[in-house]
């Protein structure tokens, strides 16, 4: 039985600015191009590392098909200029794909099977939509009521959570507003600069008069999602999009509070990290940024998938040997305000209190965006650089996962 024989240290961590799907920065940018840029930027942070020492590249992606299919991890490793000896594998745990990639990379090192690994995440929701290009659900899902939640849209699961955990529309909108406020304040203060790698967008603009294509370049270096015009009044005017407040007979459903404004944005993005053993750190003169401490995943009923972190967080804390009070930075993915509030309030009731000032201090997915399989890697970079900037010790990345899971990973600044 394999047991931990050494520590795994993160020696580089970066991400691209997050773009809005369909109409934003990366609407015409391939996901493998984003992944390559993130990988190359991470490698540039460890210039003394011999790339031949890298065992494997593990890349999270929620819908690994189309432009982000064909094992994008291996494609990205080759296109990033890594030696042919470096492997590549794409992993999928939906929204937790990126943090799962980091966990898998760290574990390969911790059990002594590798010395240096790349962990990354990428998603283009512009090119591959939620659900993929050809969703196909097993008929067996619909044979038992207990399984039907697997087929629910994520918004409906958020409505179920809001209903069961009694999260009001007003509280959801206030949470969303605060996400934008914090994100805008962080941008203004330059807090994202350390974790961010700018990306050069190449735009092809047709000249209808001449029939020629004009190439234009622009550098993007901030997240596209945060909106200065967000207000409680504006959020309050948005209609629910996943469930109606009343049924066809006019009877109240107890649902109808989840809107586009208090849900995460669909997005494009990528992030990458370099993980190394202590021996590799010494051999190549690397500077560790953080130690990978613990990771847990727990299953929950699919129809209320948003509560997943309620189960995963206590388990991750126990494995790490710390308490919630020891956490100095928490990235709780804001899939929906409803589930984020349900998680926080439920944990409060169990004595696992997450300091609200330390939860998404730079805003979350409602403002910054949520590029699905990339989010875990992106938010790991946020935790690492946030801890370094503030002098904190422990940080956590946690999220709910479609089909009923929760994941949590804990890192320690070194």
Alpha carbon distances (Å) from 402 to 155, 227, 268: 11, 27, 18
**370 among known catalytic residues:** yes
Give me 190's structure tokens: 């330059």
Q: Say if CB 100 and CB 133 are below 8 A apart.
A: no
Give me 89's structure tokens: 């594998």
Q: Which of 180, 191, 385, 400 is catalytic?
A: 400
**400 among known catalytic residues:** yes
Core vs surface per residue 235-254: b (16+ CB within 10 A) or e: beebebebbeeeeeeeeeee
Nearest to residue 276, comparing CAs of 285, 268, 265? 285
If residue 119 lies in a helix (H) or strand (E), which one and from where to where? strand 116-124
Q: Which of 95, 180, 191, 385 is catalytic?
A: 95
φ/ψ region of 403 (left if φ > 0, alpha if ψ in -120 to 50, else beta) reads: left
For the chain, the C-alpha Rg in angstroms (whole number) is 21
Q: Which of 11, 61, 191, 370 is catalytic?
A: 370
Contacts of 119 by beta carbon, 8 Å cutoff, 6+ apart: 57, 58, 59, 98, 101, 102, 104, 105, 106, 272, 273, 275, 377
In DSSP notation, 210-236 reads T--EEEEEEEE-S-S---TT--HHHHH
Residues taking part in catalysis = 95, 370, 400
């Amino acid at each position: 039985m394999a047991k931990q024989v050494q520590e795994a240290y993160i020696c580089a961590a970066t991400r691209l600015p997050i773009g809005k799907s369909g109409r934003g920065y990366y609407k015409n940018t391939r996901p493998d191009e984003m992944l390559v840029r993130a990988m190359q930027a991470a490698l540039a942070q460890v210039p003394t590392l011999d790339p031949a020492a890298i065992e494997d590249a593990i890349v999270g992606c929620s819908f690994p098909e189309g432009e982000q299919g064909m094992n994008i991890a291996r494609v990205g490793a080759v296109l990033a200029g890594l030696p042919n000896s470096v492997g590549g594998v794409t992993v999928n745990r939906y929204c937790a794909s990126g943090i799962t990639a980091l966990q898998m990379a760290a574990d390969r090192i911790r059990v002594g099977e590798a010395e240096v690994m790349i962990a990354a995440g990428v998603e283009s929701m512009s090119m591959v939509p939620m659900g993929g290009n050809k969703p196909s659900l097993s008929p067996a899902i619909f044979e038992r009521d207990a399984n039907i939640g697997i087929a629910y849209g994520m918004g409906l699961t958020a409505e179920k959570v809001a209903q069961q955990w009694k999260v009001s529309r007003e509280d959801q909108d206030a949470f969303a507003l605060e996400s934008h406020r914090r994100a805008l304040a962080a941008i203004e203060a330059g807090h994202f600069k350390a974790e961010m790698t700018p990306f050069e967008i190449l735009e092809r603009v047709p000249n209808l008069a001449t029939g020629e294509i004009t190439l234009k370049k622009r550098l993007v270096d901030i997240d596209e999602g945060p909106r200065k015009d967000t207000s409680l009044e504006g959020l309050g005017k948005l209609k629910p999009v996943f469930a109606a407040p009343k049924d066809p007979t006019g009877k109240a459903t107890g649902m109808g509070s989840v809107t586009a404004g208090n849900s995460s944005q669909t997005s494009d993005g990528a992030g990458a990290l370099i993980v190394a053993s202590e021996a590799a750190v010494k051999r190549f003169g690397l500077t560790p940024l953080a130690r990978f401490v613990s990771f847990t995943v727990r299953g929950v009923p699919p129809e209320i998938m948003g509560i997943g972190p309620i189960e995963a967080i206590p388990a991750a804390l126990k494995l790490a040997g710390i308490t919630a009070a020891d956490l100095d930075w928490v990235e709780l993915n804001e899939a929906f305000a409803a589930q984020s509030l349900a998680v926080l309030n439920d944990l409060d009731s169990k004595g696992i209190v997450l300091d609200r000032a330390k939860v998404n201090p730079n805003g979350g997915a409602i403002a910054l965006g949520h590029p699905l399989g990339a989010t875990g890697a992106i938010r790991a970079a946020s935790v690492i650089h946030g801890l370094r900037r503030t002098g904190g010790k422990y940080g956590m990345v946690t999220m709910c996962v479609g089909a009923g899971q929760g994941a949590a990973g804990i890192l320690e600044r070194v």
